[in-house]
Amino acid sequence: MLERALTGSQKYYRLLMGLLILMGMGFAAYLYQLNTGLTITGLSRDVSWGFYIAQFTFLVGVAASAVMVVLPYYLHNVKVFGRITILGEFLAVASVTMCLLFIIVDLGKPMRLLNVILYPSPNSILFWDMIVLNGYLFLNIVIGWNVLEAERKGTDSPSWLKPLIYLSIPWAISIHTVTAFLYAGLPGRHLWLHSILAARFLASAFASGPALLILLALVLRKYTKFDAGKEAIDKLSQIVLYGMLVSIFFIGLEFFTAFYSNIPSHQHGLLYLFVGLDGYGKLVPFMWLFALLALAAVVLLINPKTRKDEKTLKIACLCVFFSMWIEKGLGLVIGGFIPNPFEQVREYLPTVPELIITMGIWATGFFVLTILYKIAVSVKEEVE
């Protein structure tokens, strides 16, 4: 089936070329980082994780797109998702690939990466994260590929695949839970030290993943013969709405605990993010943009008219995706480090090389996604 990725229209090649150029730029910037060290980033002694780890955290969420189509289709027999499970699974493959790359570029000594396997440390959540992420990648590649192959041959998918598909559902939950545990178990980091963090991650994932999936399905319909179907998109948009509402509710819960209890250390992180702390507030405009986008998304999604109209649905999905990107991909990770253990505020903003590397990895993800979607769509066009 892989050969279908090699032949395509001019537009397809142009897209791949464009992505390859961005990937090359990212790779060049990474070589620069590899030679000079993480000093080229905005990271500091106090904010020791930044943009890379934040992207990783956000993209773990996008990878949940798969489970939000697989679960209804296989467990609740929602037939309209039958056509698009493959899109969800391949989106998960691309997202997890980006996650792994973001972890690698964040390492100070990437050449020692295999030490994680050489000296396995079950006490470290990072060890478990490695297992669940790689497992999820593997599951989605195997499931996606075999389902597609069966579709091409016009047969049922092999019987051994069913258990793997069922396994992939709790496994998707596990990647969020374990990723949240990276943060939620650290003493003294009050913005993260909440039992609701894992649930918050799941909720935001169920909003941002399917939102991107809707956008991708609409793009595919425009440029290929593949149509996800109105019903499937409508169902997905309902999932996005619920995911978004629950996410906002959970964030509200954090505010209640911090401000009603009136414990200063629990308020500091939120204060820094939304109004600034000790006169520092570089992230404040971003966080208000998040609030605004989240509100716009809810307004557009809750009204059935705007939700069913594709033009407004597109805007709503973009709002969901970017609001969650800011909240999880920027605020949550960086805000957790501010103030530092001495309650001093040391701010962080990514540098240009850091942004180029980040862009390169996103381009890599979309490159993988383009190729996988090309194969899927070619097969589906052939069958029809």
Partner 1 sequence: MESNRRSFLKIGGICALGLGALPVTKALARKALPQVSDFPEALKANQWAMVVDMKKCWEQADRDCKDCILACHQYHNVPDIGTIKEEIKWLWQESYHDTFHDQATKFNIANIEHNPIMVLCNHCTSPPCVRVCPTKATFKDKKSGIVKMDYHRCIGCRFCMAGCPYGARSFNFRDPIPYIKTELNMAYPARERGVVEKCSFCTERLARGLFPACVEACRHGALTFGDITDADSPVRKLLAENYSIKRRPELGTGPNVYYII
Q: Under the rule (CB under 8 A), what is the footprint of partner 1?
A: 36-39, 41, 43-46, 48-49, 103, 106-110, 112-113, 115-116, 118-119, 121, 123-127, 130, 182-183, 186-189, 265, 336-337, 340-344, 346
- Whichever of 7 and 124 has its CB closer to partner 1, that residue is 124
Angle (deg, nearest 10), helices 197-223 and 51-62: 70
Residue written as token pair 């996008």: 62
- Whichever of 2 and 118 has its CB closer to partner 1, that residue is 118
SS3 7: coil
Amino acid at 4: R
At its nearest, how many Å lie between partner 1 and the CB of residue 256?
Answer: 22
At its nearest, how many Å lie between partner 1 and the CB of residue 196?
Answer: 19
Residue written as token pair 């052939």: 382
At its nearest, how many Å lie between partner 1 and the CB of residue 113?
Answer: 6
- Whichever of 231 and 343 has its CB closer to partner 1, that residue is 343
- Whichever of 191 and 379 has its CB closer to partner 1, that residue is 191
Contact 233, 217 (CB under 8 A): yes
CA dihedral of residues 334, 339, 341, 342 (deg, nearest 10): 150
- Whichever of 158 and 264 has its CB closer to partner 1, that residue is 264
Q: How far apart are CA 176 and CA 153, in angstroms?
A: 35
At its nearest, how many Å lie between partner 1 and the CB of residue 57?
Answer: 12
- Whichever of 43 and 220 has its CB closer to partner 1, that residue is 43
Q: Is the peptide bond before 339 cis (omega within 30 degrees of 0)?
A: yes
At its nearest, how many Å lie between partner 1 and the CB of residue 273?
Answer: 17
- Whichever of 209 and 331 has its CB closer to partner 1, that residue is 331
At its nearest, how many Å lie between partner 1 and the CB of residue 340?
Answer: 6
- Whichever of 41 and 85 has its CB closer to partner 1, that residue is 41
At its nearest, how many Å lie between partner 1 and the CB of residue 123?
Answer: 5
Nearest to 372 by CA among 109, 97, 179: 97
Give 280's DSSP letter.
B
At its nearest, how many Å lie between partner 1 and the CB of residue 361?
Answer: 17
At its nearest, how many Å lie between partner 1 and the CB of residue 50?
Answer: 10
Residue written as token pair 């070589």: 31
- Whichever of 102 and 250 has its CB closer to partner 1, that residue is 102
Exposed / middle / buried, residue 119 (Cβ in 10 Å: 0-12, 13-18, 19+):
exposed
Q: How far apart are CA 372 and CA 141, in angstroms?
A: 10
Q: How far apart are CA 290 and CA 85, in angstroms?
A: 29
Nearest to 62 by CA among 240, 208, 175: 208
Helices (H), the chain: 10-36, 51-62, 65-75, 85-106, 115-118, 125-153, 161-184, 197-223, 230-261, 264-274, 284-302, 304-308, 310-326, 333-335, 352-383
